[in-house]
């Protein structure tokens, strides 16, 4: 091999220089420095502020349009428990309540009317305040109510139906007996001032 041939660098099959003088077979292989790969910095996404969903701890219902059903009435409270079980939001529960309020009000009214009818029947058959002495005992109860009852109390008896409750009437009759007839207004005076009659205790009664 001639001197010229010894100095000619080797080429690869494509005619390119395969090795340089520094990386030739006789030269010590130098490791290539690997550039550290930069890890892409992940930018933290701002946490999305989400509105709380689902049932609140307690519902605050508004008055229902077209219905006189009170927001604190038993039917509404029962609906509130159902709404919680369904995990309804305040708005969802209010929307449903507005739609079912008329039906709930009618159901509540029917229940009260049925209950008052049962009370009237119980009073009429009661051995102490009913029977042949019913009219007389109702008169006594009314005199006690006129003497000691406020207009608000009388209104409460009418609106809630408690004026038909046998235990309410029994209480008033016994109060009259304990106090004595002479402590109350005479019949003529009482008739002028009392806003109630015996029938006022029984809005659903069939008594004549």
Model confidence pLDDT, tens digit, residues 44-56: 665 554 445 788 9
3-state secondary structure of 118: helix
pLDDT at site 164: 94
Q: Indicate the range of 54-58, 60-64, 149-153, 203-207 predicted with least confidence.
A: 203-207
User: Whole-structure pTM over 0.95, yes or no?
Assistant: no
Given a cut of 80, is residue 128 above it in pLDDT?
A: yes
Compute the average pLDDT of residues 107-117.
89
What does the angle CA 86 – CA 106 – CA 110 come to, to the nearest 5 degrees?
115
pLDDT band (50, 70, 90) for residue 43: low
């Amino acid at each position: 091999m001639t001197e010229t041939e010894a100095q000619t660098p080797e080429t690869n099959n494509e005619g390119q220089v395969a090795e340089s003088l520094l990386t030739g077979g006789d030269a010590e292989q130098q490791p290539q420095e690997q550039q550290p790969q930069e890890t892409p910095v992940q930018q933290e996404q701002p946490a999305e502020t989400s509105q709380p969903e689902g049932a609140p701890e307690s519902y605050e219902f508004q008055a229902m349009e077209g219905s006189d059903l009170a927001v604190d009435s038993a039917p509404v409270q029962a609906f509130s428990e159902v709404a919680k079980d369904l995990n309804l939001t305040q708005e969802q529960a209010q929307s449903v309540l507005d739609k079912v309020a008329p039906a709930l009000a009618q159901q509540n009214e029917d229940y009260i009317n049925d209950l008052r009818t049962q009370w009237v029947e119980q009073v009429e058959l009661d051995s102490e305040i009913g029977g042949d002495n019913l009219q007389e005992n109702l008169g006594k109860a009314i005199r006690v109510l006129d003497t000691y009852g406020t207009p608000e109390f009388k209104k409460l008896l009418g609106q809630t139906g408690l004026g038909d409750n046998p235990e309410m009437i029994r209480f008033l009759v016994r109060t009259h007996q304990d106090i004595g007839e002479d402590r109350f207004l005479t019949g003529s005076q009482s008739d002028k001032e009392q806003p109630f009659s015996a029938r006022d205790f029984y809005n659903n009664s069939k008594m004549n």
